[in-house]
Amino acid sequence: MAEILFHPLSTYARRVHMALLEKGLASRFEMVVVDMPAREHRRAPFTDLNPYGRVPVLRVLDGGPALPPSCEGLAYFLFEGCGT
């Protein structure tokens, strides 16, 4: 299982979510909202996953990598990580 740390107003996060829905993979991920107005994305533990403080971050819960950039995260999960 994996988590997607996101904010609903982020167009990048929406792009990732829409791609997962289109591929039928959304049920494999837990969507976790990052409180950006409270600047949660600029403090640890979020900055430990993404030093740039950007969303979305795709985090594999079983010891896998955290993937901050949306394009690289999409490529990993859609073409390698999910085996589809």
Tokens of 68: 């901050």
Confirm whether pTM is higher than 0.85. Answer: no
State mean pLDDT over 53-69.
76
pLDDT tens track for 63-79: 766 766 556 666 666 65
Tokens of 63: 């010891």
Angle, alpha carbons 67-14-59 (nearest 5°): 25
Give the pLDDT score at 84: 46
Model pLDDT for residues 33-47, shown as the tens digit of each residue: 999 999 999 999 999
Within 10 angstroms of residue 7's Cβ, the number of other Cβ atoms is 18
Provide the domain count of the chain.
1
CATH label of the domain that carries residue 17: 3.40.30.10
Structural domain harbouring 50:
2-81
Buried b (16+ CB within 10 A) or exposed e, 42-74: eeeebeebbeebbbbbbbbeeeeeebbebeebb
